[in-house]
Structure 1
Amino acid sequence: MTGPFAWFKWEALFREWPVFAEGFVMTVILSALALGLAIVLGVLFGILGTAHWKPLRAVNRVYVEFIQNTPLVIQIFFLYHGLPHLGIMLPVFTVGILGVGVYHGAYIAEVVRAGIQSIPRGQHEAAYSQGFSYWAAMRYIILPQAKRMAFPPLTNQAVSLIKNTSVMAMIAGGDLMYHADSWASTNLYYGPAYIVTGLLYLAICYPLARYARNLERKLEVSL
């Protein structure tokens, strides 16, 4: 058999499995750091999106609309190719964290904003009547309640973020997809390479997707 899934191609992959293991570890690390950045940006801009002061809400809309309506690939290319023209040189790994993190931060901002707006107005008024400032009310009263509503879609965003790290392959980012492409292009063993790569992504994303569905069911029951 000499087709795309011939056994000798699988044997070559098994012999050189550290190539895929290295990419897998890099993808996990990149995903974790980018998710941390996305959550920080998402919470910050989500709060701005519910602020009483209109200019703060405008900042939220500019960030969300610009990021959500431009492709992630273009944003990554700008960070990788554009910033050097401004005298800013960033390692490829840092480009990945910033690009993927900022991109998903815009989506998480909308999740956080919706979660905050789901809290009854009376909760805000009760916090203000007790002497809380806007930011203190958010920290101690509103966000802890909004977290329960926002957590299922946040988990879904984490799944999307992990899959979107694959765009790093386009700038030699050292992630799982890049290692798979590099290995397969040297010997044309694309079939086994992409099957294993897909299964490795599935191993990360499927448990998170199941967890998100369980959270959604529990939330529906409690409402």
Structure 2
Amino acid sequence: MPKLVLVRHGQSVWNLQNRFTGWIDVPLTEKGKEEAYKAGELLKDIKFDVAYTSMLTRAQETLRIILETIGLYIPVIKDQALNERHYGALQGLNKDRAREKWGKEIVHLWRRSYDIPPPEGESLKDTAARTIPFLERTIMGDILDGRNVLVSAHGNSLRSIVMYIENLSPEEIVKVEIPTGTPIVYELDENGKLLNKEIRHLGD
């Protein structure tokens, strides 16, 4: 049965600085590179056929390190549809400073609601509106052809995919946390239906 593996990029410089990143292109920290390496170690048993990533450096670098660690040279498709949620006016701001400016409750609503976007930005619903059609058009096509697929992307674009694969409601998906550098391994049947889910950690 084909496998679909999702990996959120390793820690970025702005993750470390507690800043809203969105579409701003920032690099991995040394810890982030180590997380990517560990993810590669955890995935050495899977023979991937194709990989997908966003147009942002932190996801691409994570993917490069994973594939190098596994020792795989496979086609890599990069697409903006897999970019992180666009945080609009919040991008670049420290999250504590944003709470001071707009209020704790409002910022929490922007971050954790499904369909309320920050100023000039995207909600999770908006992110899903670009990620899920791309998933259906390309990634699921590979799955239905029996290929093993690796996706290196971002917390919110991956939330959209998790929502689709696990058939979660908007209320359920906003509670889902996707940690950096931790592979989520789905086994799917020939019709793309979920058979098994495994979250891999070092030491498992």
Considering fraction of residues, name the structure with more strand.
Answer: 2
Compute the TM-score of the two structures, normalised by the length of structure 2.
Answer: 0.29
Compute the TM-score of the two structures, normalised by the length of structure 1.
Answer: 0.28
- Between 1 and 2, higher relative CO (CA 8 Å, sep ≥ 6) is seen in 2
Structure 1 or 2, whichever has the larger Rg, is 1
